[in-house]
């Protein structure tokens, strides 16, 4: 095996497998970290997943993890694991720009809560991944830092706004990653890049030190290759955060310990309005996924939680743009030229949202949350729908004029509004060999159940194990 092949193999290890190899001494954290940097050096000109790498601090973290491993003092499954961090999370002493020109030289003094938790668990922070500017978009075609490319088809987007994290995972450049999700920004890149992305229950993972877009809808969470790896990450990430006023202020659980229970006897709900108008291959892969879940012992029925509310989506719309514009009002007013189009235009419109429309949106969000929780209380364990009704579209030639396509977020945005835990796992490919995703969502704080269903599906399929050739 050539050195390039070997670094590629190590780059596609699961977190769980790498941790086992650290335990038995067959792999050292420094060797894995160096292999990941070699992989990044070899592939990131094509992918542009990272906006900056942190080799000196990462090697030092890996050396500390290796010393603990040699002494039988590993801190847990994430000790020595190389992780990529979306460039919305503060990293002490390292620029956190949020994908915008206004913050190109912004250097935080402290780590975001999630980054701190990862480091306390021994994780190795490889660097900062590209994001759609200010997290307001779904392509990661960034005016300031360049477009990120999808490893499955380099001319396609990786999704957004956590597109750099999705691309890094699919490209074998990290074993896990941090993303954020306001309208689908963890789950869309997971679906488009053929990896796994978990949006935890709102408030379960603290957002302290994360650049906000919409505090009503923002979620912080893990991305990896499998539900098992996301469970290992969530165990570390979940917990009280005094820096996040919406923190659930509750401890996490041992989510990995819950994975083996399977889906036999579970009752799952398909939402018809989130299946109609899907691309043909997306719909076919979804139906095959349902057959897999049935074969594992799940029962599947159909329910429409928002029946009788024909205009509920339109009412919700103003919340995200109004809050995003408000959080970024200073730079919009004083340095608008530092924000590229079309993000600047969309945010400026957000400053014009009437208070009445904003308040009605907040009220409707509560209705949506209540109805989706109530439908599950009728005897369902979880919802299953396609992650996105489409696959990855071509990268726009001019990021300054790229329009925001709301259709791709149609399914994911719903579950930001419900505040429920929601995961996307790979469930097939379309005719262009682009990945599709299956999304599983359960009641609030049933993150263990969502991860368990996703894990059972992945134990019966191999889509999450496939790798792109690029």
For residue 85, give the nearest of 59, 124, 120, 55 by alpha carbon: 124
The reported pLDDT for the residue numbered 464 is 98
pLDDT, tens only, 410-467: 999 999 999 999 999 999 999 999 999 999 999 999 999 999 999 999 999 999 999 9
- Residue 313 inside a domain? The answer is no
Domains held by the chain: number: 1
Domain that holds residue 151: 3-308+362-465
Contacts of 95 (CB under 8 A, 6+ apart): 52, 103, 104, 105, 106, 107, 128
State residue 76 phi and psi, 5-degree precision. 150, -175
User: Residue 94: which CATH number?
Assistant: 3.90.1300.10
pLDDT, tens only, 109-157: 999 999 999 999 999 999 999 999 999 999 999 999 999 999 999 999 9
Position 403 pLDDT exceeds 80: no
pLDDT, tens only, 198-241: 999 999 999 999 999 999 999 999 999 999 999 999 999 999 99
For 340-355, give one letter per residue: b (16+ CB within 10 A) or e: bebbbebbbebeebee
Contacts of 256 (CB under 8 A, 6+ apart): 77, 228, 231, 232, 235
pLDDT, tens only, 171-205: 999 999 999 999 999 999 999 999 999 999 999 99
Name the token pair of 67. Answer: 């010393």
161 is annotated as an active-site residue: yes
**Rounded CA separation 270/272 (Å):** 6
- Residue 354 inside a domain? The answer is no
Q: Is 55 helix (H, G, I), strand (E, B) or coil?
A: helix
Position 408 pLDDT exceeds 80: yes
Position 402 pLDDT exceeds 90: no
pLDDT, tens only, 290-318: 999 999 999 999 999 999 999 998 999 99
pLDDT, tens only, 57-99: 999 999 999 999 999 999 999 999 999 999 999 999 999 999 9
Q: 1 falls in which pLDDT band (50, 70, 90)?
A: very low
Cis peptide before 326 (omega within 30 of 0): no
> What is the pLDDT averaged over residues 399-412?
77
The reported pLDDT for the residue numbered 470 is 84
Position 7 pLDDT exceeds 70: no
What pTM did the predictor assign? 0.97
Percent of the chain with pLDDT over 90: 94
86 is annotated as an active-site residue: yes
Surface-to-core class of residue 307, CB atoms within 10 Å of its CB (0-12 exposed, 13-18 middle, 19+ buried) = exposed
Q: 8 falls in which pLDDT band (50, 70, 90)?
A: confident
- Residue 99 inside a domain? The answer is yes
- Residue 347 inside a domain? The answer is no
Name the token pair of 5. Answer: 């092949």
Which of the residue ranges 80-84, 262-266, 339-343, 450-454 would you say has the lowest mean pLDDT? 339-343
- Residue 283 inside a domain? The answer is yes
> CA 229, 183, 243, 363: dihedral to nearest 10 degrees?
-130
Q: 3 falls in which pLDDT band (50, 70, 90)?
A: very low
**SS3 readout for 387-445:** CCCCCCCECCCCCCCCCCCHHHHHHHHHHHHCCCCEEEEEEEECCCCCEEEEEEECCCC
- Residue 334 inside a domain? The answer is no
Residues 319/214, Cβ–Cβ less than 8 Å: yes
- Residue 338 inside a domain? The answer is no
Q: 396 falls in which pLDDT band (50, 70, 90)?
A: confident
- Residue 452 inside a domain? The answer is yes
- Ranges of beta strands (E only) in 24-72 are 50-53
What is the pLDDT of the chain when averaged over all its residues? 96
> What is the pLDDT averaged over residues 377-402?
90
Query: Looking at 14, 162, 167, 185, which residue is catalytic?
Result: 185
Query: Looking at 161, 167, 214, 247, which residue is catalytic?
Result: 161
* Count of residues making up the chain: 470
Query: Looking at 86, 128, 199, 408, which residue is catalytic?
Result: 86
């Amino acid at each position: 095996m050539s050195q390039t092949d070997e670094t590629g193999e190590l780059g596609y290890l699961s977190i769980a497998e790498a941790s086992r190899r650290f335990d038995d001494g067959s792999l050292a954290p420094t060797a894995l970290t160096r292999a990941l940097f070699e992989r990044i050096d070899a592939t990131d000109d094509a992918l542009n997943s990272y906006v900056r790498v942190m080799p000196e601090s990462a090697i030092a973290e890996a050396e500390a993890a290796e010393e603990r491993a040699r002494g039988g003092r590993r801190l847990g499954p994430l000790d020595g694991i190389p992780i990529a961090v979306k460039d919305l999370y503060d990293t002490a002493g390292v620029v956190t720009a949020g994908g915008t020109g206004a913050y190109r030289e912004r250097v935080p003094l402290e780590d975001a809560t999630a980054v701190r938790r990862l480091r306390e668990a021994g994780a190795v922070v490889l660097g900062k991944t590209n994001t759609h500017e200010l997290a307001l978009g779904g392509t990661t075609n960034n005016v300031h830092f360049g477009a990120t490319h999808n490893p499955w088809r380099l001319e396609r987007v990786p999704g957004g706004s956590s597109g750099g994290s999705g691309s890094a995972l699919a490209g074998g450049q990290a074993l896990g990653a941090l993303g954020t999700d306001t309208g689908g920004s963890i789950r869309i890149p997971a679906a488009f890049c053929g990896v796994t992305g978990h949006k935890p229950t709102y408030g379960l993972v603290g957002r302290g030190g994360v650049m906000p877009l919409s505090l009503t809808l923002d979620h912080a969470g893990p991305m990896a290759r499998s539900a098992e790896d996301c469970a290992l990450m969530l165990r570390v990430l979940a917990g009280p955060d005094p820096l996040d006023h919406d923190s659930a202020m509750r401890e996490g659980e041992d989510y990995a310990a819950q994975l083996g229970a399977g889906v036999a006897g579970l009752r799952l709900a398909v939402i018809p309005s989130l299946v109609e108008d899907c691309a043909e291959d997306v719909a076919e892969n979804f139906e095959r996924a349902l057959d897999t879940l049935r074969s594992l012992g799940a029962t599947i029925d159909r329910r429409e939680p928002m029946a009788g509310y024909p205009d509920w989506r339109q009412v919700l719309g103003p919340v995200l743009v109004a809050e995003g514009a408000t959080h970024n009002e200073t730079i919009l007013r004083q340095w608008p030229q530092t924000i590229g189009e079309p993000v600047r235009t969309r945010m400026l419109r957000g400053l014009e949202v009437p208070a009445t429309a904003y308040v009605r949106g907040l009220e409707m969000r509560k209705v949506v949350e209540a109805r989706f929780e109530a439908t599950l209380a009728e005897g369902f364990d979880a919802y299953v729908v396609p992650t996105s009704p489409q696959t990855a579209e071509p990268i726009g030639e001019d990021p300054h004029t790229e329009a925001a396509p709301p259709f791709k977020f149609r399914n994911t945005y719903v579950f930001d509004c419900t505040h429920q835990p929601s995961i996307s796992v790979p469930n097939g490919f379309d005719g262009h060999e682009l990945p599709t995703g299956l999304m599983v969502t359960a009641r609030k704080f049933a993150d263990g159940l969502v991860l368990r269903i996703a894990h059972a599906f992945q134990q019966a399929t191999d889509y999450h194990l496939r790798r792109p050739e690029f």
